[in-house]
Structure 1
Amino acid sequence: MLNNPQFYVEQLNKQIERVKEQYKSFRFYDLGSYALNRLTPRTSFELVENIAYGLKSRQRLDLYRAKKTLAHRPLIVFVHGGAWQHGDKKDYVFIGESLARAGYDVAVINYHLAPQSIFPVYIDDIAQALNYLNQHQQRLNISTQHIILMGHSSGAFNVMSVVYHPQQQAIHCRDQIKAIVGFAGPYHFDYKGDPLAQDAFDQSVPYQEVMPFYFVETNSIKHYLFLAENDQIVKKSNTFDMHQKLLQAGNHSHVAVIAKTGHVTIIATLSSLFSQYFKTKRTLLNLLKETHPA
């Protein structure tokens, strides 16, 4: 057995499959988002569900219109995580409520998932959603003059890649993107053989031709990178590498480390139910004040 390489290959493959199954069971909504959303108050927003921004079934978004709006009505476009393989907008009512309570309109979008779809389909979906929101802003009673892109985990990669991409995305409201907010985002890693990401990318394409880290260009966008202190899924180097790359390009970048949070729980701390116990939401709102007039 010790001299049987095939045995070790089989054991490695089994271990990879176990990791993949563990991560699937690690989905946020399996850890309480259903209960969290049930307890979330519904008084701070008007909800329009399942708006079609494209013809395919996953090209849908939910719009949370704030009853109390800030000046110029900033629009947050939130993209969920899930290793590019799972997740759904319906699991993030608590995000829409919490940010609408603070005066922001919020669009929570669905997009195509792996393994049926691979990069850059997710990015194309987000660009299409942005163009739809921009084109139909009057009918939707929103404004796209002040857009904040926000994502968690793979969603953070997606929103960063919409702007920093090997092929420039045709986004008609690009100049209206004022900020990018990433929670626990993987911006600079090798996905080849990675059990959590290998199905989301073409394994024949080097990661240097995909990662947003390699396509940073100078602009006036403000970047806020939130890092979970106890993240065991995404290496912290992703955040710090991206931070340094942005600064080298002359761009704005700010890293916020959230104590006592992990890869999944960091996003839960934005909930109105938990925000008083963590600094996540107040840090976010204070930073976003930099992006729009009082």
Structure 2
Amino acid sequence: MWKSKLKSTKDRVLSPYLTAAKERLEEFRFYDVASHHLNRLTSREHFTLNADLSYGEHARQKLDLYKAKSPRLDEPLIVFVHGGTWAHGKKEDYLFVGESFAKEGFNVAVINYRLAPEHKFPDYVNDLVIALNYLEKEKQGLNLSTENIILMGHSAGGFNIMSAIYSPYESALVCKHQVKMVIGLAGPYHFKYMGDANLEQAFDLSLDYKEVMPYYFVEKNDIHHVLLLASKDFLVAKSNTLDMHDKLMEVGNISIIKTVPYTGHITLVGSLSSYTSRMFATKAEILTEINKCLGEA
């Protein structure tokens, strides 16, 4: 009896902690460790941070704005969208991205968006559109230029930025003509999600993938597209980037593919940090293409 009562009491005491630990373990991903260490190594001297700006009413509809202390004359704005299979990730993990480009004179907005499985396509794409409209509306109060917008997304975030431009739905993006570049890092743009539980949770299974993928809605525009591949990416198939590039070129759009040596799916985005960019070509390639696009050599 005493043993039984003790066990019951112990279980009641431990269960909240075990539950919390289990939830943290389920949310854990390898890139959490990588981003944590990169952020610890990241300087805070090149930017001022406006954190947790609400662009909508949902708790996930927030963004962090990194304002460059020494901005470029053309005042470009990078809007970065994280990956995580549309079910994981948070803006705070990417402080190293904000700092790395603020250091080069860019203002950088890093956004959160609503996550699967509670939210499915197109909710997370709509959140990017809402965030961009918010930045356009509030630009004076934020002392921000939106004349040269650069969309940058990694993995699932790459899908989001491409879908914000190429969508089966009528776009509500009010500043679409101000988007000068789209930079996709190992993005999935043309794939079938049926049969993969991790992917199925992010999409309405009543929709055929051809009704969803940005690949099928590409149209002519003046946006410069830079599609980056990791040389050792074993997570997202290379065909996504190759197919998207071919479709963009087919309609006469500007598209460039770059393969970054010695990078995998996660290290590709990690290589953007000021600390690691000396060892990888990722950031240098991006800056070169931005300067070509914006005409600042």
Selected match of 1:84 from 83, 86, 99: 86
| Residue 213 (structure 1) aligns with | 215
Amino acid at match of 1:92: Y
**Structure 1 runs (4+) greater than 3 angstroms displaced:** 22-27
Deviation of the 1:32 alpha carbon? 2.1
| Residue 70 (structure 1) aligns with | 72
Aligned partners of 1:27 and 1:110: how far apart in 2? 19
SS at match of 1:200: coil
- The answer to whether 1:28 aligns with 2:31 is yes
TM-score, normalised via structure 1 length: 0.90
Which stretch shifts more, 147-156 or 164-173?
164-173
| Residue 8 (structure 1) aligns with | none
- The answer to whether 1:249 aligns with 2:251 is yes
Selected match of 2:188 from 186, 199, 215: 186
Deviation of the 1:251 alpha carbon? 0.1
Aligned partners of 2:189 and 2:155: how far apart in 1? 9
| Residue 21 (structure 2) aligns with | none
TM-aligned CA distance change 1:289 to 1:217, over 3 Å: same
Unmatched runs of 5 consecutive residues or more in structure 2: 1-24
| Residue 270 (structure 2) aligns with | 268
Offset from partner CA, 1:96-134 (integer Å, 9 cap, x none): 000001110000000000000000000111100000000
Equivalences for 1:144-293 in 2 at 5 Å?
144-293=146-295
SS at match of 1:191: coil
Larger Rg: 2
Q: Is the 8 A contact 1:27 1:82 kept in 2?
A: no
SS at match of 2:191: coil
Q: How many residues align?
A: 272
Unmatched runs of 5 consecutive residues or more in structure 1: 1-21
| Residue 22 (structure 2) aligns with | none
SS at match of 2:53: strand
Q: Is the 8 A contact 2:34 2:270 kept in 1?
A: no
| Residue 19 (structure 1) aligns with | none
TM-aligned CA distance change 1:151 to 1:82, over 3 Å: same
Identity of aligned residues (%): 50
Offset from partner CA, 1:12-45 (integer Å, 9 cap, x none): xxxxxxxxxx99654411x321121011000110
- The answer to whether 1:43 aligns with 2:38 is no
TM-score, normalised via structure 2 length: 0.90
